[in-house]
Amino acid sequence: MKVTIVGAGNVGATCADVMAYRGIASEIVLLDIREGFAEGKALDITQCATNTGFNTKVTGVTNDYSKTAGSNVVVITSGIPRKPGMTREELIGINAGIVKSVAENLLQYSPEAIFVIVSNPMDTMTYLAYKSLGLPKNRIIGMGGALDSSRFRTYLSLALDKPANDISAMVIGGHGDTTMIPLTRLASYNGIPVSQFLSQEQLDKVAADTMVGGATLTGLLGTSAWYAPGASVAYLVDSILNDQKKMIACSVFVEGEYGQNDICIGVPCIIGKNGLEEIIDIKLNDAEKALFAKSADAVRGMNDALATVLG
Ligand SMILES: NC(=O)c1ccc[n+]([C@@H]2O[C@H](COP(=O)([O-])OP(=O)(O)OC[C@H]3O[C@@H](n4cnc5c(N)ncnc54)[C@H](O)[C@@H]3O)[C@@H](O)[C@H]2O)c1
Ligand SMILES: O=C(O)C[C@H](O)C(=O)O
């Protein structure tokens, strides 16, 4: 199975590295606009093979889309990341044009591919890809919830002092500092509600830390994060290529689900060989429904800024 990743920067290269190491795809093509950059990243990753024991073919190209032909999955990470103090939404002006042209180029050479959108603001970029490519909604998937849920589980694990893999928890809604919705009520430690172990004050802090998880790392690193984002993309692509049918919160086009229409927003999705296979309808309580409606309003508002790009 062939995967193309556009953007060989921090997230794209990390994603390629994790996918190669875990043998998720047989072939990975990294593409970047910067001369020689993707070639260099691909060669460096390839030179891990004998020490980490993988057989994935990893190549890099400078803006040559013909080398991406016939990809089963394409991942878009091209664009600029935020700097400390910025919101993801401030990236829209530059990233919208990049994502649209990259997506169109990819489709030309891989007409059957499933698209995974990573560039920020991710929900807006996913909507842009959906509207401009004209593909069925199952083939356009925004990655954000996998990462946010992983951060939520990490913060819960730290508060509980228990392994993150024993914790089940999900974040839905927009992939923004104020639009994420960590579903604390449904989070569990091996099936036991986390509220049996943590006070409301502790739970509120975990949710707040989760929501600004990306901003915290941006403040520490001077640019946005890449290890957990790259691993989260690989996790999502694995579920597609290997038809795992995992439930992963992803940004997809909604048509009535959760009371919303005509936006891409994070909802629990079954992800398999067809991309989005089903949206799971969680019975939210009234407070959660209100948070989702507010998040959807903010996500919808950002889509208005796309008018010029969408023509
Ligand atoms: N959805 C998420 O959960 C999530 C997580 C982390 C980062 N991101 C976003 O992903 C994007 C990439 O982040 P990063 O840290 O890897 O940035 P980065 O600067 O390290 O890498 C971006 C790469 O894109 C390339 N690029 C720019 N324009 C291009 C074009 N037209 N064609 C091909 N390549 C092009 C650049 O040359 C660069 O190498 C940012 O927008 C960031 O906000 C999203
Ligand atoms: O925080 C960012 O800007 C990058 C990404 O969306 C993240 O959550 O790490």
Predicted ipTM of the assembly: 0.99
CA of 164 to the centre of ligand 1 (A): 28
Q: What is the pLDDT of residue 310?
A: 76
Q: Does the C-beta of 225 come closer than 6 Å to ligand 2?
A: yes
- Evaluate whether 248 touches 144 at the Cβ level (below 8 Å): no
Q: What is the pLDDT of residue 309?
A: 76
Task: State the closest ligand 2 atom to the C-alpha of 122, by its place in the atom list counted from 1.
Answer: 6
Q: What is the pLDDT of residue 267?
A: 98
Q: Does the C-beta of 126 come closer than 6 Å to ligand 1?
A: no
Tell me the CA distances in angstroms from 121 to 29, 220, 240, one per residue in order: 24, 20, 23
Q: What is the number of other CB atoms lying within 10 angstroms of the CB of residue 130? A: 25
Gap between the Cα atoms of 152 and 167, Å rounded: 9
Q: What is the pLDDT of residue 307?
A: 81
What is the rounded (10 degree) CA torsion for 289, 290, 294, 299?
0
Please list the ranges in the chain whose pLDDT falls under 50: none
Q: What is the pLDDT of residue 20?
A: 98
- Which residues have C-beta within 8 Å of that of residue 96, sequence separation ≥ 6? 124, 125, 128, 305, 306, 309
Gap between the Cα atoms of 215 and 114, Å rounded: 29
Q: Dump pLDDT digits (tens) for 23-59.
A: 999 999 999 999 999 999 999 999 999 999 999 999 9
Q: Which of 119, 148, 217 to mutate to test the pocket of ligand 2 (most atoms within 8 A of CB)?
A: 217
CA of 212 to the centre of ligand 2 (A): 9
Bind-site residues for substrate:
82, 88, 120, 151
Q: What are phi and psi of 224, to 5 degrees?
A: -80, 170
Q: What is the pTM of this model?
A: 0.98
Q: What is the pLDDT of residue 255?
A: 98
Q: Which of 83, 218, 232, 299 to mutate to test the pocket of ligand 2 (most atoms within 8 A of CB)?
A: 218
Residue bearing the CA closest to ligand 1, atom 15: 10
Amino acid of residue 73? V
Tell me the CA distances in angstroms from 73 to 65, 119, 241, one per residue in order: 14, 16, 8
Q: Which of 76, 98, 102, 118 to mutate to test the pocket of ligand 1 (most atoms within 8 A of CB)?
A: 118
DSSP structural state of residue 60: E
By annotation, the residues acting in catalysis are 175
Q: Does the C-beta of 272 come closer than 6 Å to ligand 2?
A: no
CA of 96 to the centre of ligand 2 (A): 16
Residue for token pair 């891990």: 48
